[in-house]
Structure 1
Amino acid sequence: MPGAKRLARDHTEEWVLIREWCQWPEQRLYELIRPVVLFGTTTRERADQTQAAEKTVRRTADTFEEDGVLSLFRPSRAQQAEHHRSLPVPMRQLIVDLHAEYAGFTLREIGEICYIQFGRRPSHNTVKEVLADGPAPQRVFRRYPVAAQIAEPAERRLAMVRLHAEGWSITSISRYLDVTRKTVYSTLRRWVEEGVRGLDDKSHINTNRVRKVDLRTRETVRQLQSNPRLGEFRMHGALKLLGIQISPRTCGRIMAEHRTLYGIGKELAEEPRPARDHPFKGSHRHERWCLDIRYIEKHQVPGAKGALYVITIMDAFSRAILASGLFQSQALSCVLIVLYAAIREFGCPQHLITDNGGVFRAKQALTIYETLEIDKKWIEKRQSWENLVEAHFSIMRRIGDFEIERAVTWEGAKLAHERFVQAYNEQPHYAHRKRQDGLVAPADVLGHKPSLRRYTPEQLHRLFYATRFVRFLDRGGYIRFRRWRIYGEEELARRQVAVWVYGTTLTLEYANAPLTQYEAIRQPDKQHFRRIGDPRQFQTPFTSEQGQLWPADEIPRRMAYRLPDYARRKRRKEATSLIPSEIPGFASGVASK
């Protein structure tokens, strides 16, 4: 016995199941109105059961009673009579074919394509109705494969032109052929400008005769390459300060050509370190300052014993150097000189980040932090990367050290460091390359906005009073300080200098530059000094160019000596009267007769 020709189902009135089992749109439309025309169910009840519009149910039922089964087919007799409301059969076929070929079309985009091809723009609701109840699609395959599978470049571009001529949008063409919108735009532009000739491939050689890189630029790059530590990004920043605008990649290509042509050396790059979340990254200006000391052991400064020391304070948000100095000592007084200069110029930060060095943990330094209400933060041991100023020191090693190592005088080394600080703040910084506001230099990111906590010079003097004192140099270059005469610099006579005292160290400073340093032993009262000796005179730019008339070895200078104590004030003697208290022959007030 042969099997059943149709699948047996239980009788149901559930519209969801009936709509799913219907195979033809006409059958589905009849099942929608069958209870109305057969059993007399009201249109409102049927609309509630099927979630269809009541007006649609009523209109379909009325049309069925007038025209019968023919009213279920599209276009209906009424639609054939009203040509302005019905869509032509070719247009209806085009709508379903477009949707079958590319399902990413929007309803309005399909209506736009119909307007271009037939001169009539159906509404998106009409397009939706045609896609639901329209004819079966005749185009079930792609007319064009993706662009990567089209071997000939001209055929690939011609497919874009043809689709656009049919009314396809740029977005639909790019998604259909799997290319970028920029590629479609450039192809259509070449078609408009050149026609068929624009379909073939062209050479990518730059035909623009105006070039940024001329002989002057190449010579400038060659001169700056005398520092082998410069990379392409820092070369780009140095040229930008000179008014030459070329990209870092272009700088890298020119530098590579010069290394091959002139044999210029190149410092080996360090291995990249894995990226880690920074614990002290700043979110706004003057939130966190980073302070650290760097050693420069290779130098040619005569008279400088040992290494030179760079003490720098940097803003963690803008990466700008707020204060920095080159010293011949790393004593606490030198650190406080830099901190005092930064606070005087920009105010106080919220946090100060340093390592665990003894100079940063000194009691006097901690007292100043607490007085200024600065939250002191310490980095973890052996984790120097947590202090952002370490990244700045890496830049300084590539840019600043080259000039400092070539300096043969202390004045030249100080000047080279000042030039580096200015160039660093004005050159583009790699950390700001993705900023949306276009500010790439640390000085521009910092701007002219100081911290909200500012102090006047008088207030700072009171806060640093236990450490910093102010005196005037006499014409011999000495100051008087607690019954001692101490030498600072003869060329700064009549100038005001700062005296920094910490522990057994006494330092004279002028314009953020230490002049002399002494070992000071205090008396038991902790106020006066029992001995001041072991003088150390630093090289400064304030030394006279004429020099001394006699060498210092022949006539040594007394750098510090104690002044004699004040002589005791002599006690006044009582004055004696030269007039006798009584005159002979006179009584008290009455002459004797």
Structure 2
Amino acid sequence: MAGRRRQRVEHTEDWEQLRLLVKWPEQERYEEIRPLVLFGDSVFERTEETRTSERTLYRRVESFERDGVESLFATERARRKVLPPWIRGLIVNLKAEYPPFNLNEIANVVYVHSGRKPDVRTVRNVLEGSALPLKIVRLFDPYHQIPDGRERRIAVVSLHSSGWSAKAIAGYLKVNRDTVYEVLRRWVREGPDGLEDRKRGRPRGTGKVDLRTMNEVRRLQQNPGLGAFRVHAALKQIGIHLSERTCGRILAINRRIYGYEKPKASGAGAKKPMPFASSRRHEYWTADVRYIDEHRVLSEGRLYVVAILENHSRAILSSAVTRSQDLSAFLSVLYRAVERYGSPEALVTDSGSIFLANRAKAIYDSLGIAKHEIERGRPWQSYVETAFNVQRRMADWHFAKAASWPEIVQAHDRFVEEYNGQAHFAHLGREDGRRSPGEVLGWVTGVRYLPEDLERAFFSTRHSRILDELGYARFRHWRVYGEEGLARKEAEVWLQERSLTIEYAGEALSRYDVEILPGSTKLKGVSRPELFENSNVLPQFRLFGLEALGDGGWLKSLKLDEYAPRGSRRPTMLQAALFPFLAGTGG
């Protein structure tokens, strides 16, 4: 006969003896409340025996009567260590019903059924320790195999109410995820009525194309460079949602009625490799310059547009219309881009001299920007070229109509705002629904700099000055004219080896030829002043034009006296005594 496995102990009700026999805290808690629960003993007497507070015993008795043995476990983890059998069976059945279920999706479905979400590791352990049953009958047939349309949509709503995700529903019913979202939106918006079948198409007598829409399209079509896609994007920006094909049909009707010109084809060929394609925002910026040949401002001659574009979002970060394509114009645009968006990882340009100048390279190095050039003869490698092609369609017609410099600046600024806000062809396939360059760029910036650090990076070329009450700026012992209408405003002085330019908000006010003393930073001479028309308005009209004074009567630049050398602080003579020294001693 086999011996006893456990040592036999005499029965006892003595608490001190019981405490020596129990091995687990849960056993001890049960023994504390067992006489109270089974026999209704006095809580006060049990308190005297166990030295446990009366309130603790009351609380443990209430928990035991409410939750049973589970209340004896002290921690949440201990109470939930073992899942109930029906939850374990639910986990296994869900995996058998739809094998692509991931662990988190199964945990979410369990939470909907039980109000208790197991950890993904617990779900994995349950699946690893159980055999999946063979499913012969599905909960629902595939979506398009269900003959009744209402029953199809009921299947989607039923699975969603059971905790299934839209991704799992789409995979299980073998339908596009957009269809699942549309069914759920109809259910939320209309309730059971949203599950009924509807006639396809728009109801008779209603349409999106009304007189306001036709007038907006006609107004936009006056620009011969805009095609169906650009008109579609412009209408969407003002809240009119028409498809590109509908816009194309309206454009064709207007051409027959009003005789508008048909826009020229873009001539897009085979897709070419882009060596500077970006996978994240502010990885690459691209800078370039284009010419504006057609405009009505006869006094300006040829104009230029200097622009910097972010490759990933295609957003124009900074752009300006300038009268020259010199280093100062480019650095001014670069400064405003870095000031607002931080610095990129790399800057891409062509081999133009303004992009490869020593001063520009020094700024790249101080900001930690890598410099790359596109290959010669391959302009398509520059992303900003595509933006310039869009600008030719959207803005060149307005440039050609502009009769003054402020109108040109206004047309340029309006183009940048509309370009960044309208849908871009490169973003039509994005899954996040972001279509415009501004939406894709969002709030993300590059490496940001403190104002003093940014000024230190541009210290050799850019200098901030406050214009005096007459619009002059003081710079290196010279007084040079900027703009009287900007008195008391902070302007920027851009210095090059042979020229000096005063700008305000990226707009050139005046330019001078300068001569710098060899081996010094002092200006030897300032000559050939050139004042530019700008968009700033004087607070009060002049009685006569300053040009009437002639070059001799109106000084645009004036040499100031050098600062006087600091004198010695040593006294030149001793202070005279008020009375003899001996008179104060009584001698």
Normalised to the residue count of structure 2, the TM-score between the two structures is 0.63
Residue 125 to residue 330, structure 1, CA distance change in 2 (3 Å) = closer
Residue of structure 2 equivalent to 1:469: 463
Mapping of residues 292-311 of structure 1, within 5 Å:
292-304=288-300, 306-311=301-306
User: Which of 513, 538, 557 is the matching residue for 1:560?
Assistant: 557
Mapping of residues 70-219 of structure 1, within 5 Å:
208-219=204-215
The separation in 1 between residues aligned to 2:246 and 2:480, in whole angstroms, is 57
Residue of structure 1 equivalent to 2:225: 229
User: Which of 286, 292, 315 is the matching residue for 1:290?
Assistant: 286
Q: CA deviation at 1:393?
A: 0.3
Residue of structure 2 equivalent to 1:337: 332
The separation in 1 between residues aligned to 2:572 and 2:281, in whole angstroms, is 71
Q: CA deviation at 1:403?
A: 1.4
The one-letter code matched in structure 1 to 2:507 is A
Residue 528 to residue 246, structure 1, CA distance change in 2 (3 Å) = same
RMSD of Structure 2 on Structure 1 (CA): 3.2
Residue of structure 1 equivalent to 2:251: 255
Q: Does 2:520 match 1:526?
A: yes
- Indicate conservation of the 8 Å contact 1:324/1:338, yes or no: yes
Q: Does 2:567 match 1:574?
A: no
The separation in 1 between residues aligned to 2:441 and 2:201, in whole angstroms, is 42
- Indicate conservation of the 8 Å contact 1:488/1:508, yes or no: yes
The separation in 2 between residues aligned to 1:457 and 1:282, in whole angstroms, is 28
Q: CA deviation at 1:262?
A: 1.7
Alignment deviations for residues 64-102 of structure 1 (CA, whole Å, 9 cap, x no partner):
xxxxxxxxxxxxxxxxxxxxxxxxxxxxxxxxxxxxxxx
User: Which of 416, 439, 443 is the matching residue for 1:448?
Assistant: 443
The separation in 1 between residues aligned to 2:375 and 2:233, in whole angstroms, is 33
Q: CA deviation at 1:312?
A: 0.7
Alignment deviations for residues 358-408 of structure 1 (CA, whole Å, 9 cap, x no partner):
111110001111111111010011111100000000000000111122111
SS at match of 2:330: helix
The separation in 1 between residues aligned to 2:454 and 2:365, in whole angstroms, is 14
- Indicate conservation of the 8 Å contact 1:318/1:443, yes or no: yes
Residue 494 to residue 587, structure 1, CA distance change in 2 (3 Å) = closer
Residue 578 to residue 236, structure 1, CA distance change in 2 (3 Å) = closer
- Indicate conservation of the 8 Å contact 2:227/2:263, yes or no: no
Alignment deviations for residues 28-78 of structure 1 (CA, whole Å, 9 cap, x no partner):
xxxxxxxxxxxxxxxxxxxxxxxxxxxxxxxxxxxxxxxxxxxxxxxxxxx
The one-letter code matched in structure 1 to 2:456 is R
Residue 399 to residue 577, structure 1, CA distance change in 2 (3 Å) = closer
Q: CA deviation at 1:587?
A: 12
User: Which of 343, 354, 357 is the matching residue for 1:359?
Assistant: 354
Residue 125 to residue 487, structure 1, CA distance change in 2 (3 Å) = closer
The one-letter code matched in structure 2 to 1:554 is A
- Indicate conservation of the 8 Å contact 1:328/1:538, yes or no: no
Residue 447 to residue 533, structure 1, CA distance change in 2 (3 Å) = same
Residue of structure 2 equivalent to 1:413: 408
- Indicate conservation of the 8 Å contact 1:489/1:543, yes or no: no
Residue 579 to residue 418, structure 1, CA distance change in 2 (3 Å) = closer
SS at match of 1:235: helix
User: Which of 476, 495, 504 is the matching residue for 2:498?
Assistant: 504
Q: Does 2:437 match 1:439?
A: no
> Which structure is larger by alpha-carbon Rg, 1 or 2?
1
- Indicate conservation of the 8 Å contact 1:477/1:492, yes or no: yes
SS at match of 1:498: strand
Q: CA deviation at 1:481?
A: 1.0
In structure 2, runs of 5+ residues without a counterpart are: 1-133, 137-145, 148-174, 177-199
SS at match of 2:429: coil
Percent same amino acid among aligned pairs?
A: 40
Q: CA deviation at 1:437?
A: 1.1
Alignment deviations for residues 469-516 of structure 1 (CA, whole Å, 9 cap, x no partner):
111111111111111111111111111111111211211121122211
The separation in 2 between residues aligned to 1:398 and 1:576, in whole angstroms, is 83
Alignment deviations for residues 525-561 of structure 1 (CA, whole Å, 9 cap, x no partner):
3300111111121221113275432222321321112
Residue 421 to residue 570, structure 1, CA distance change in 2 (3 Å) = closer
Q: Does 2:480 match 1:486?
A: yes
Q: Does 2:371 match 1:376?
A: yes
SS at match of 2:547: coil
The total of aligned residue pairs comes to 395
The separation in 2 between residues aligned to 1:282 and 1:509, in whole angstroms, is 33
Q: CA deviation at 1:207?
A: 6.1
The one-letter code matched in structure 2 to 1:420 is F
Residue of structure 2 equivalent to 1:320: 315
The separation in 1 between residues aligned to 2:376 and 2:506, in whole angstroms, is 30
Q: Does 2:274 match 1:278?
A: yes
The one-letter code matched in structure 2 to 1:443 is G
Residue of structure 2 equivalent to 1:19: none
205-214 vs 552-561, greater mean Cα deviation: 205-214
User: Which of 264, 267, 278 is the matching residue for 1:268?
Assistant: 264
Residue of structure 1 equivalent to 2:69: none
400-409 vs 387-396, greater mean Cα deviation: 400-409
Alignment deviations for residues 164-197 of structure 1 (CA, whole Å, 9 cap, x no partner):
xxxxxxxxxxxxxxxxx99xxxxxxxxxxxxxxx
SS at match of 1:368: helix
The one-letter code matched in structure 2 to 1:535 is P
- Indicate conservation of the 8 Å contact 2:225/2:263, yes or no: yes
Residue of structure 1 equivalent to 2:190: none
Q: CA deviation at 1:208?
A: 3.1
The separation in 2 between residues aligned to 1:228 and 1:518, in whole angstroms, is 40
The separation in 2 between residues aligned to 1:559 and 1:513, in whole angstroms, is 18
The one-letter code matched in structure 2 to 1:239 is L
User: Which of 418, 421, 427 is the matching residue for 2:422?
Assistant: 427
Q: CA deviation at 1:416?
A: 1.1
